[in-house]
Copies of this chain bind each other. A is one copy, B any other.
Amino acid sequence: MIVEVIAVGTELLLGQIVNGNGAAIGRRLAEEGFDAHYQVVVGDNEDRLAAALETAMGRSDAVILTGGIGPTQDDLTREAICRATGRAKLFSEEYAEALRARWAATGRVMPESNLRQAEFPEGGEQLPNAKGTAPGIALEHEAVWVFALPGVPQEMMALLDDEVMPRLRRAAGGPAVVKSRLLRSWGMSESQVAELLDDLFQSSSNPSVAFLASGGEIKVRITAKADNEADAAALIEPVEAEVRHRLGVRIFGSDGETIEAVVLRLLDERGWHLATAESATGGLIAARITAVPGASGQFVGSVVSYATELKRRLLEVPEDILVETGVVSEETAMAMAVGAARLLGAEVAVSVTGSAGPDEQEHSAGTMVIGVHTPEGTAARTFRLPGDRERVRTYAGTAALQLVRLAVEGSWWRR
């Protein structure tokens, strides 16, 4: 079944925003095995929008429009659908009432233009938008499905998952439910994961097993199709257990869980607090952890010891270690972690010292040393990371958080 995406909005043509919706919908369609031949961007122009829709309906089995369904005069997707399908534009008194009630609840008077959102093509359905006011539209026209979704990414994704994908699955004659489990791993290369899981990739069809490297981690996605949620979950379960068994401690979380959230949860479970001592990462790790709401429960603070003198004076890295092993060494990293735990009053501390580049200093650019201290021990590890300064720093931050996880779990000491 071929599905075409049309993203609507002059701001997309002008490059003021990047068409992330197109990519997000493309990804979701691909995950579930739908084909895509074209994607189109068209501005806020009724003629051209209608023409793009007609073309898409002539060559695809379903068309997903995103954008242009708000309340302003620039929002022309509803008109274009009526024009391209030759259907009348109806008015939903029910939706209009709901809109008025919504505005009344906030004590404001609704501009009359908002009522445009109550319009929809004859024969079509309005799709409730829980995260916004503009309802989506679903219409089956001469065996082609046409969907109109909001342009706001969050609203678009919710309607895509809740309303569009189930209809597409039914139209494709497939199972009603497609369920995915994402297992997130760190510490192996893509090819190592591929090798370890090769038979699962090859033999599996339902559930299917696929993997994707991004942001320094390898994500393994297990996707099952079934008639209901329970059957899909039952298909996923044994494969998930097998993948977890083979990858072991490299798996740090699943689905939307980030390494930051996992670290904070593990610390909370043990009643420990975290501090960071950052040199080459310059505060990135602390910034990532404090991006999680509620981080203050487990995170106390950080010393960014960019100047070597601060490693000595504040973190109390012994002079002989600095002189004998250098600023970028596992000994220095461990001393920094111990010093940060003491100075900042935390049971656990992680440190980073290294050379992020682009210039070669004492150590080649990309050499990053991470130290971790917990009540159970102190350890360090050296990484040689590829890429530019930003990439090296980001990867070092991820590695530091992963090593904190391994140390707090106790996996590091048990190796």
Contact = CB atoms under 8 A, between A and B. Distances in A.
A98 interface: no
Interface in A3-48: 12-20, 22-30, 36-43, 45, 48
Contacts of A52: 38
B23 A19 contact: yes
A285 interface: yes
Contact of A38 (B36, B42, B305): B42
A390 interface: yes
A183 B281 CA distance: 30
**Total copies of this chain within the assembly:** 2
A301 B307 contact: yes
Contacts of A20: 18
Interface centre among A12, A13, A212, A294 (most CB of B within 10 A): A13
A272 interface: no
A289 B287 CA distance: 13
A344 interface: yes
Interface in A137-186: none
A15 B38 contact: no
Contact of A27 (B14, B27, B42, B290): B14
Given A283-B283, A293-B389, 10 more contacts: A14-B36, A15-B28, A16-B212, A18-B20, A18-B23, A38-B52, A55-B55, A278-B283, A281-B290, A303-B303
Interface of A: 12-20, 22-30, 36-43, 45, 48, 52, 55, 212, 276, 278, 280-287, 289-291, 293-296, 299-307, 309-310, 314, 343-345, 357-359, 389-390, 393
